[in-house]
């Protein structure tokens, strides 16, 4: 007898439907799994056999063939255990599938359902393909509920799982362990955590702790309000890292769509759903390429994807390996990252806001008013070239921080705390989203901005030329206007004016001025 | 004369012939032409001047030079440069004051600029923003006085002095440690071109293409010290080449001034030691340097360097006032002007576009007319208001 159930396979966060076909035929009692399984999947035979017996079902003494279609797609992991077991039960006549549902879950030998890493993209694939009813391990139910339109059926064990497939009336026949939990689950309501920082990230800080640094504070506020990438440069002790540590508390909460995307990426990475806070990731420069960009043996999303809809803070930018910095260009450009594998290319979302910090040179003291630089001639320029022009070009805000003298650090001067700044940022973001159809200013359409500032066009071109930065290309003007728009939003101004454009030019200045000659 | 000049230059180009050997050979044989004609054929006479070892070292080179004495000069001219010798009146007479004047000066630009009244501004290759500011102020004062800024076209203070002089409309000359066109740091290529275009000169005692060596940089410092009426050391740590220039100047009996920066610490240790252990004098205000130059026959170009009074907006004017006492960071400027950070940043863009301020590392430094003692930011604002007619 032949039976077929549905499950899914993912590559990155894009999934494909998988049909699990089970044929139980008379013959020697063997079980074969075909359709490019990996070793964890081949071992499913043993788990399924024990789980069936220990859950009170019988394991058919017959020739069992399990086919995972499409056959040319490589399948990995243990998420198919439940589907295989259900298929065997259906093919051997022990369970009649009256209400089809897709099945996801690993089985323990005792028949319990174990959670599956990367469940969310699997559920999303199934729902997108029209399989709204999805049986998932009870522990994963909260994660799965992030998928819009999914009817999540949580199960603690095999018996409860197949209960969802049986005809409705026979509720009593199923060994339902917890009848109260059979309905679809609401997405969990998560209260904001005290901080959006991941455990192990840098210690969060409040802007009240930052002495001086008016220019740095201002640039950070504009960056976070508009989603513009930001580069902080300065000598050691200038406060680059301290400023970055204030970011988690300044980021506005995620929108519903963003929260869903973040949960999806987190699930693909095997992480639990997070509180509704914008991600803030601060990897060390020794972090591996696979961990940062994505990939590795199990094809996990990297930190650039885990920072999706949030901030990726790269301290000591020039110390990151060249291939990592080159790989960053794509996420900064189009908001996704591609991980190339033997069997094709996987795409992860990675619409991150980059905040980077770096020293002006290897020893760190180039341009410092007090301490001499110890680098050889041409050393500072060589050090800066580690960050390529194309990457630097994508960073609209650059600010050189001055080392604050010790006497001013120790005397607090009533610096503004984070809370009011966060309010301004959230308000500016909300205005920008309303105007740009949900997008932050950093991604606002150029045409609208150019039209808005049409009467300033000649003046802007003159100012750009005058600032000796770069030729006034239309791309450059749009970048400038996006920043100017954010500055206007922060001030609550309807129109971009000369003052906003001037400040935007100032913020895009040479990050290492006057270093040579 | 022309044949003697070619022979003179050819003799100087013979490997192993330095200023002293050149002078002794010409003295012994009567002329450079005679050295080339008689020298290779008469080892005994040659040996009397340079010794047996010298004969072995020089004979091949002399033979080579005899074959085509005009070749080295042609090579120079092919590069667009010139070679001048003490045989010509244009050769800077100040160089006769030193023990071993170069038999040939090779260069680009206007050789006459080398002989004009000049002030040497020398210092570290890695100046602090404040030292750049000081060097620029001194250079502007020198230019306004009608004199020429002399330095070594190195990175740091040298480049600062040359660049400011050009921006102020003045002439500036450099003595380089290698043969042009590679005798200066690559980053200073555009600066060298601007110096030449601005009526100045870049000169050195090595033939074109001869690379600088460790010894050639200290040696060219004696030329900087010799052509300058006064040498100003701006910021010199211990062991700085600027101290060698200062020592040459003192040996030649020329005044040496040290721009004193009490807060410079290690940056200025060499300058401080110079003040303590030599007749060098402290330079108080940068503008005081002109008292040491003496009278200057103003060339047309330098005289034209009168500042056009810029007109400034209110925020620009107060930033200009904040930058007048020295380089300042954003926090200091904001505190002094009492304006929001964004407005100050925008006004700095305007000031930079006007050439009155520029960023150096984390600080902003005055530039252009704002470096002049007489510049009045308030007045610049008042003029702007009255010319526009709005408050």
Residue ranges and CATH numbers for the domains of chain A are: 2-181 (3.30.230.10), 207-507 (3.40.50.300)
Angle, CA of A53, A55 and A60, to the nearest 5°: 35
Question: Do the Cβ atoms of B341 and A515 come within 8 Å?
Answer: no
Sign of CA dihedral A395, A397, A398, A404: negative
Chain A residue whose CA is closest to B361: A367
- Distance, CA of B14 to CA of B212 (rounded, Å): 17
Instruction: List, in order, residues 6 or more apart from A287 with CB less than 8 Å away.
Output: A303
What would the pLDDT profile of A307-334 be if each residue is shown by its tens digit? 999 999 999 999 999 999 999 999 998 8
Residues of chain A with Cβ-Cβ distance to B329 below 8 Å are: 402
Residues of chain B with Cβ-Cβ distance to A506 below 8 Å are: 345-346, 348-349
A215 → closest Cβ in B132, B185, B345: B345
pLDDT category at A183 given cuts 50, 70, 90 is very low
Res. B123: pLDDT tops 70: yes
What would the pLDDT profile of A101-110 be if each residue is shown by its tens digit? 999 999 999 9
- Distance, CA of B244 to CA of B236 (rounded, Å): 10
pLDDT category at A255 given cuts 50, 70, 90 is confident
What was the pLDDT predicted at A191? 38
Q: What percent of chain A has pLDDT over 90?
A: 46
Beta strands in chain B (DSSP E): 82-84, 105-109, 118-122, 148-151, 172-175, 201-204, 228-233, 256-259, 281-283, 328-329, 357-360, 363-366
Continuous H helices in A178-255:
214-226, 240-245, 247-250
Secondary structure (3-state) at A125: helix
What would the pLDDT profile of A144-179 be if each residue is shown by its tens digit? 877 788 899 999 999 999 999 988 754 444 444 443
Question: Do the Cβ atoms of B358 and A515 come within 8 Å?
Answer: no
What was the pLDDT predicted at A73? 81
Q: Is A366 on the interface with B (CB under 8 A)?
A: yes
Element (H, E) at A280: strand A280-281
- The residue whose two tokens read 């042009």 is B180
What was the pLDDT predicted at B197? 93
Secondary structure (3-state) at B82: strand
Q: Tokens in use for B185? A: 């740091």
8 A C-beta contact, residue A279 and residue A302: no
CA distances in angstroms from A160 to A49, A79, A135, A176, listed in the order given = 17, 17, 10, 5
Burial class (CB in 10 A: 0-12, 13-18, 19+), A42: exposed
Mutate to test the interface with A, among B164, B236, B313, B342 (most CBs of A within 10 A): B342
Instruction: List, in order, residues 6 or more apart from A286 with CB less than 8 Å away.
Output: none
Position with higher pLDDT, B101 vs A274: B101
Q: DSSP for B31-52?
A: SHHHHHHHTTT-HHHHHHHHHH
End-to-end CA distance of chain B: 71
Position with higher pLDDT, A181 vs B137: B137
What would the pLDDT profile of B289-329 be if each residue is shown by its tens digit? 888 887 776 654 444 444 455 678 889 999 999 999 999 99
Read off the pLDDT of each residue in A468-478 and give the average, rounded to a whole number.
74
CA distances in angstroms from B138 to A128, B132, B160, listed in the order given = 74, 10, 10
Res. A193: pLDDT tops 50: no
A400 → closest Cβ in B132, B191, B361: B361
Read off the pLDDT of each residue in B235-258 and give the average, rounded to a whole number.
87
Q: What is the mean pLDDT of chain A?
A: 85
Helix axes B189-197, B157-167, angle to 10 degrees: 40
pLDDT category at A468 given cuts 50, 70, 90 is low
B128 → closest Cβ in A217, A369, A513: A369
Burial class (CB in 10 A: 0-12, 13-18, 19+), A149: exposed
- Distance, CA of A224 to CA of A400 (rounded, Å): 17
Comparing A110-124, B88-102, B139-153, B346-360, which segment has the lowest mean pLDDT? Answer: A110-124
What was the pLDDT predicted at A324? 93
What was the pLDDT predicted at A470? 63
Q: DSSP for A128-163?
A: HTT--EEEEEGGGHHHHTTSTT-EEEEESBHHHHHH
Interface of A with B in 199-238 (CB under 8 A): 212-215, 217-218, 234-235, 238
Read off the pLDDT of each residue in B78-87 and give the average, rounded to a whole number.
90
8 A C-beta contact, residue B129 and residue B286: no
Res. A75: pLDDT tops 90: no
8 A C-beta contact, residue A266 and residue A308: no
Q: In what order do the strands lie in the sheet with A353-358?
A: A280-281, A311-314, A353-358, A230-233, A397-400
pLDDT category at A453 given cuts 50, 70, 90 is confident
Q: Is B314 on the interface with A (CB under 8 A)?
A: no
Whether a cis peptide bond, with omega within 30° of 0, leads into A70 is yes
What would the pLDDT profile of B171-212 be if each residue is shown by its tens digit? 999 999 888 877 888 888 899 999 999 999 999 998 887 888
- The residue whose two tokens read 């949030």 is A310
- Distance, CA of A386 to CA of A233 (rounded, Å): 14
Rg of chain B on CA atoms, in Å: 24
Residues of chain B with Cβ-Cβ distance to A370 below 8 Å are: 128, 265
Sign of CA dihedral B78, B80, B85, B89: positive
Read off the pLDDT of each residue in A180-208 and give the average, rounded to a whole number.
55
Q: Is A499 on the interface with B (CB under 8 A)?
A: yes
Q: Is B348 on the interface with A (CB under 8 A)?
A: yes
The domains of chain B, with CATH numbers, are 2-73 (1.10.150), 93-303 (3.40.50.450), 314-388 (1.10.10.10)
Interface A-B, measured as beta-carbon pairs within 8 A, has a size of: 115
């Amino acid at each position: 007898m032949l039976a077929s159930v549905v499950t899914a396979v993912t590559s990155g966060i894009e999934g494909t439907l998988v049909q699990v076909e089970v044929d139980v035929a008379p013959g020697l009692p063997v079980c074969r799994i075909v359709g490019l399984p990996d070793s964890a999947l081949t071992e499913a035979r043993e788990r399924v056999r024990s789980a069936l017996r220990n859950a009170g079902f019988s394991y058919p003494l017959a020739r069992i063939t399990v086919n995972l279609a499409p056959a040319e797609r490589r399948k990995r992991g243990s998420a198919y255990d439940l589907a295989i077991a259900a298929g065997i039960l259906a093919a051997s006549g022990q369970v009649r599938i009256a209400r089809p549902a897709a099945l996801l879950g690993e089985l323990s030998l005792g028949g319990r359902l174990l959670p599956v890493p990367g469940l969310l993209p699997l559920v999303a694939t199934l729902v997108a393909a029209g399989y709204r009813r999805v049986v998932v391990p009870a522990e994963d139910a909260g994660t799965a509920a992030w998928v819009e339109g999914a009817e999540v059926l949580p199960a603690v064990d095999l018996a409860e799982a197949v209960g969802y497939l049986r005809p409705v009336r026979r509720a009593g026949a199923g060994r339902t362990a917890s009848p109260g939990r059979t309905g679809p689950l609401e997405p969990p309501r998560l209260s904001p955590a005290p901080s959006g920082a991941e455990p192990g990230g840098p210690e969060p800080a409040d802007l009240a702790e930052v002495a001086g640094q008016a220019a740095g504070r201002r640039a950070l506020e504009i960056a976070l309000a508009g989603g513009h990438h930001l580069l902080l440069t300065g000598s050691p002790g200038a406060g680059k890292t301290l400023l970055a540590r204030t970011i988690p508390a300044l980021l506005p909460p995620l929108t519903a769509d963003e929260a869903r995307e973040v949960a999806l990426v987190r699930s693909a990475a095997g992480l639990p759903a997070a509180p509704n806070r914008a991600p803030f990731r601060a990897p060390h420069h020794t972090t591996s390429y696979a961990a940062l960009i994505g990939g590795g043996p199990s094809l996990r999303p990297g930190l650039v994807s885990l920072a999706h809809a949030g901030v990726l803070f790269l301290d000591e930018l020039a110390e990151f390996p060249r291939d990592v910095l080159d790989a960053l260009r794509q996420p900064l450009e189009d908001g996704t990252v591609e991980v190339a594998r033997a069997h094709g290319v996987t795409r992860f979302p990675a619409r991150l806001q980059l905040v980077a910090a770096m020293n002006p040179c290897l020893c760190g003291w180039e341009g410092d008013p007090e301490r001499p630089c110890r680098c050889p001639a041409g050393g500072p320029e060589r050090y800066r070239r580690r960050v390529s022009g194309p990457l630097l070009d994508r960073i609209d805000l650059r600010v050189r921080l001055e080392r604050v003298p010790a006497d001013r650090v120790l005397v607090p001067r009533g610096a503004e705390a984070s809370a009011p700044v966060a309010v301004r940022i959230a308000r500016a973001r909300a205005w920008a989203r309303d105007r740009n159809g949900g997008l932050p200013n950093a991604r606002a359409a150029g045409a609208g901005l150019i039209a808005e500032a049409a009467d300033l066009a000649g003046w802007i071109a003159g100012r750009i030329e005058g600032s000796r930065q770069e030729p006034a290309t239309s791309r450059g003007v749009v970048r400038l206007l996006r920043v100017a728009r954010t500055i206007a939003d922060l001030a609550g101004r309807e129109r971009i004016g000369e003052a906003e454009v001037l400040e935007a030019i100032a913020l895009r200045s040479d990050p290492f001025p006057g270093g040579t000659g | 004369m022309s044949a003697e000049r070619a022979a003179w230059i050819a003799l100087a180009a013979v490997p192993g012939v330095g200023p002293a050997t050149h002078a002794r050979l010409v003295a012994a044989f009567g002329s450079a032409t005679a050295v080339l004609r008689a020298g290779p054929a008469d080892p005994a006479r040659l040996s009397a001047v340079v010794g047996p070892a010298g004969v072995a070292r020089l004979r091949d080179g002399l033979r080579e030079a005899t074959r085509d004495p005009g070749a080295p000069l042609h090579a120079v001219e092919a590069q667009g440069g010139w070679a001048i010798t003490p045989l010509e009146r244009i050769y800077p007479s100040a160089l006769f004051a030193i023990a071993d004047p170069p038999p040939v000066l090779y260069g680009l630009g206007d050789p006459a600029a080398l002989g004009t009244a000049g002030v040497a501004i020398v210092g570290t290759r890695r100046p602090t923003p404040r030292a750049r500011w000081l060097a620029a102020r001194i250079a502007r004062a020198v230019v306004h006085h009608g004199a020429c800024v002399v330095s070594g076209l190195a990175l740091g203070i040298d480049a600062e002095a040359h660049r400011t002089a050009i921006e102020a409309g003045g002439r500036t000359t450099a003595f380089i440690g290698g043969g042009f066109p590679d005798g200066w740091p690559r980053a200073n290529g555009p600066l060298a071109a601007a110096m030449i275009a601005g009526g100045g000169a870049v000169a050195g005692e090595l033939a074109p293409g001869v690379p600088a060596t460790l010894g050639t940089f200290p040696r060219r410092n004696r030329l900087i010290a010799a052509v300058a009426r006064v040498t100003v050391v701006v910021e010199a740590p211990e062991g700085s080449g600027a101290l060698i220039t200062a020592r040459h100047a003192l040996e030649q009996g020329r005044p040496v001034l040290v721009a004193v920066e009490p807060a410079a610490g290690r940056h200025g240790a060499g300058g401080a030691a110079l003040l303590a252990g030599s007749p060098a004098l402290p330079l108080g205000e940068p503008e005081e340097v002109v008292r040491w130059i003496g009278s200057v026959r103003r060339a047309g170009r330098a005289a034209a360097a009168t500042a056009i009074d810029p007109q400034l907006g209110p925020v620009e004017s107060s930033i200009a006032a904040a930058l007048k006492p020295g380089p300042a960071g954003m926090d200091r400027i904001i505190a002094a002007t009492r304006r929001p950070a964004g407005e100050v940043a925008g006004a700095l863009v305007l000031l930079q576009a006007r050439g009155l301020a520029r960023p150096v590392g984390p600080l902003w430094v005055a530039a252009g007319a704002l470096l002049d003692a007489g510049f009045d930011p308030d007045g610049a604002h008042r003029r702007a208001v009255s010319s526009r007619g709005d408050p």
